[in-house]
Structure 1
């Protein structure tokens, strides 16, 4: 049989094998044991944390005739078939490559057929956030009213891209990153079973590089075993992960603390020339600086005993220096994301770290002689005199300004305020919407507006929380803002407009044109529009004698009907003169 990767061989086959997700495991086991399972689940979390594995274990458990306390037996025909991937009643779909409407419609057509072998038909849709808007809409009805013997399990690494209407119809479980301690324990168990020699420090390097993903950790471990010919050592783990040895990190930080720019640059060049990953180097430096900072504040907070070099370095560097080092490292890490010349950023970083300034107040005070102090005192007195003269001049100006008539001052102030608050509104676009506006379209937008707010980021929601649709047609919507400055900000924020259009596309299936107006201007715009329609003549046949009274009455009826259609019967009240 051909070789299989470690993460496939040691894939969890029961809930107890799913390490690091105790809350999720306990909830699912209890639901299965008490037969209180839901029709749809949403598994969210970083990659490699067990979402798809949990979905397959769940599919086995609810269909296993011999399950005990929510755990499948893994021995019956159903469990074996699901494990080997040959049971037709458990369908696994990759939404990244099957994200169209037709694929979801195919599921919707087949979901009504009863399972052939198992008790439940289980659909596992991986990376569900990749589905298109139309596909989500097609899936929505099935999730809302599924057959009794069907269970949907949706897995994703980006839940924020899933419409709120889908999330609200599922039970959501958040899979958290697995701790390094748990990952190391699992790797020890696997290596002991395989009878492979290993260095525990090497496992720590691998666990740190995995960033909370068990699958990533086992993949790196697999590479390390192959590279070292069944021998897991620290050097092999460092080479495979691209990490830097602690000796190099301590040497570099020591040179930074001592402000030795030349030697620090040489150390950086040696690290880069040895093939180490620049981003991994930054992460290792941040992690090591963080450990020093924690050790200075609370020595018992470290999980391992510090070395002598670590202790010596912690005594030489101050907490303020560590704050500056970590800030610079974070900033350069962000800059390096979009650069193909990362070595340049590392060199600039090294120069900045070695030349960063400390608080030098005491040093300045000890080196300044008495003559310089006297000179500084004279300059201070001169500045004080200048400030006193400026204060007198300012007081005189204030007195003159106060003598100006109050009415002129207030009108000027009001004019300035109005100029600042003035927001330019495209009246033609508003009228275009009102000409085709319907009450049904407005109700549709109002109904979807709360769900749209949930799709926005926190900063975008802060702008839009005082907005509401006040008129709408099939292809456009007028949005009113309670505050003028937020309306202006929304008009200028193209990213916000794009996000709203995408959200409305998901919720309504259309991308309407957005027209933003301040709430203070909306009543006048609406009144002017209704008055204009009232004054428009009604076209009559040529043979008919035009009657002013009848035309006026008919126009009033048309205007009243249009107003009710736009704004609703509860807002518009018709009074006869």
Structure 2
């Protein structure tokens, strides 16, 4: 076969040709110059990143006739023989097919023989993690103390499957994924040397589809060159890699942002008609929004973008879509991707997800509209209450022009004094039904306070509860006097509570606060003064309705009304 694949023709022959692994090649070059060659190496990393190539370069460098040198000359008989495989002292073993104990024992028996053509006998064991446990055990002692003329180089993509006893006997080098830009630069060198015409963006698409592997990139490039006519175009690269074009992703993202469901489904129909895989497309779409989020938060990390090439349309869309919406879009797409793995009809889930994406913004706008309407209603209500407060304040100032300062001084001296007169007026009209209405919505009201970021107001009510209510007002008992004073002096607090109670009950109720110790005295005094003329009020109802109970009636007989206190 006269034709060779690009990745074979352009396999690195020197350390300088190994792309993106400078941390490995620099260390090996320094070790070669200082003649500090280890007896065993472990090269681990993703596929197509140069592990086997680096192993062969190292084998040539240690056996080069010009050694010690940091690069093989590739001109002497040793370098040429290792390159074309004619020297038997450099042995490449595929552990995937030679993973038994017998094969490793054969290696162990032959290790003691000196090399015939070069200075070092080098064993390159590829995919070493495929060896069986017995094979690893057979290799163990030989790997730890081989003869001076033997070097082991183990290569693997899954180092976690190798026993720690093997790893600890090797110098380990971790190869990393090659960046897209480094892959593009290498491909440009290759196509320029080969005389192939190409579009720069086509190489970008191939590099991103390779996912950090140079061999995968060159294989895709080889396919794209064969598929193209006179020039490797963007469409050729998209066809070979199975990727979706940037323009299509922009088009679909624009339809989602503008809530055009029909337009989004038409674009999806066209994509599927072209034979694109739904699973591959939804992965591209997730990466598209991931790159958008990364671009919005860290625009300088362009190299970290997996799928997107920044253009004017993408930048315009990124400016329109906020972070929260991107989170929701990715969440919907990720859920659809999970569902598509367990169905025979992935297209249905894909279409449903597109519809959901187009409706996300609509729901948000409806929510915003409702919140705006509610906010306008509250503002109107607050303006009305503020106007009433100002009017009442003017009347009070006219009637008691000289007394406010004295009252304030007396209050500050003796602490908070509950408005006994107002409390008595509420108690005269109070019923248990009205109190149960307020208590029934109390928990919901506290929850709404927290939801509206009014935690400080909600904290004042942690040790408080409604104790009496009428059709016009209700009384809140505070465990601590300081909390009661802070609450009653805070106009925002009173307005917020009144507004929420009105929303939940439909009643505009006045709020009266009282410390717990004062409340007990005021209530007892009221009940004793109005016990005979309160047939349906809170105090009489609470007492009379329970006198019929056997335990209560027996207690009244034993101790009398004056000593018995009935608590609900």
- Other-structure match for 2:430: none
| 2:41 and 2:171 in contact (8 A); partners too | yes
CA gap 1:338/1:107 in 2 versus in 1, 3 angstroms: farther
Structure 2 spans left out of the alignment, 5+ residues:
382-433, 447-460, 466-568
In the alignment, structure 1 residue 364 sits paired with structure 2 residue 364 = no
Partner residue, 2:139: 139
Q: SS where residue 353 of structure 2 aligns?
A: helix
CA distance in 1, matches of 2:187, 2:443: 75
The 1:134/1:301 distance shift into structure 2, 3 A limit, reads closer
State the number of aligned residues: 390
| C-alpha separation in 1, matches of 2:106 and 2:19 | 35
- 2:199 corresponds to which residue? 199
Residue 184 of structure 1 is matched in structure 2 by 184
Which residue of 332, 342, 349 maps to 2:346?
342
Which deviations, in whole Å up to 9, do the C-alpha atoms of 1:217-255 show, x marking residues without a partner?
A: 000000000000352111100110111112211111111
Mapped partners of 1:247, 1:150: distance in 2? 56
Cα drift, residue 3 of structure 1: 0.4
Q: CA RMSD in A?
A: 2.9
Aligned counterparts of 1:109 and 1:337: Cα–Cα separation in 2: 50
- Compare 50-59 and 280-289 and name the one that shifted more: 280-289
1:361, CA displacement in angstroms? 5.7
Tell me which residue corresponds to 2:292.
292
SS of match in other structure, 2:38: coil
The answer to whether the aligner puts 1:312 opposite 2:316 as a matched pair is: yes
1:350-381 superposed Cα distances (whole Å, 9 cap, x missing partner): 1332233548664223234859x99xxx9776
Secondary structure of the corresponding residue to residue 441 of structure 2: helix
> Highest Rg: 1 or 2?
2
Q: Unpaired segments of 5 or more residues in structure 1? A: 393-577
Encode CA deviations 1:472-498: one digit per residue, 9 max, x unaligned.
xxxxxxxxxxxxxxxxxxxxxxxxxxx
Contact 2:62 2:68 in 1 (8 A): no
Q: Deviations over 1:95-138 (max 9, x none)?
A: 11111111111111111111111111111111111111111111
Cα deviation digits, residues 266-289 of structure 1 (max 9, x gap) = 222211120123343233323332
TM-score if structure 1 supplies the norm length?
Answer: 0.63
For the Cα contact (< 8 Å) 2:32–2:68, is it kept in 1? Answer: no
Would you say the 8 A contact 1:40–1:152 is kept in 2? yes
Aligned 8 A contact 1:321 1:358 in 2: no
Is residue 2:180 matched to residue 1:174?
no
Looking at structure 1, the residues matched to 342 and 21 of structure 2 have their Cα atoms a distance apart, in angstroms, of 34
Q: Does 1:382 align with 2:440?
A: yes
In 1, the alpha carbon distance for the partners of 2:213 and 2:199 equals 20
C-alpha distance 264-325 of structure 1, shift in aligned 2 (>3 A): same
Q: Which of 333, 343, 348 is residue 337 of structure 2 equivalent to?
A: 333
Q: Decide whether the 8 Å contact of 1:140 with 1:166 is kept in 2.
A: yes
2:41 touches 2:152 (CA, 8 Å); kept in 1? yes
Distance 1:158 1:306, change over 3 A: closer
**Separation in structure 2 between the aligned mates of residue 370 and residue 9 of structure 1, nearest angstrom:** 75
What corresponds to 1:352 in structure 2? 356
Instruction: Tell me by how many angstroms 1:265 deviates.
Output: 2.1
Q: 1:217 to 1:306 in 2, by over 3 A?
A: closer
Q: Distance in 1 between matches of 2:171 and 2:17?
A: 22
Q: Matched residue of 2:151: which SS?
A: strand
Structure-2-length-normalised TM-score: 0.64
Deviations 1:327-363 (A, max 9, x none): 3333433444455533233223213322335486642
Determine if contact 1:125/1:155 at 8 Å carries over to the other structure. yes
- Which residue does the alignment assign to 2:208? 208
After superposition, the Cα gap between the structure-2 partners of 1:380 and 1:187, relative to the gap in structure 1 and judged at 3 Å, is farther
2:101 counterpart residue number: 101
Tell me the CA shift for residue 209 of structure 1: 0.3
CA distance in 2, matches of 1:385, 1:189: 71
**Per-residue CA distance 1:52-99 (angstroms, 9 max, x = gap):** 000000111111111463211111111111111121111111111111
Task: Tell me: CA distance 1:34–1:360, structure 2 relative to 1, closer, same or farther (3 Å).
Answer: farther
Distance in 1, matches of 2:216 and 2:126, equals 18
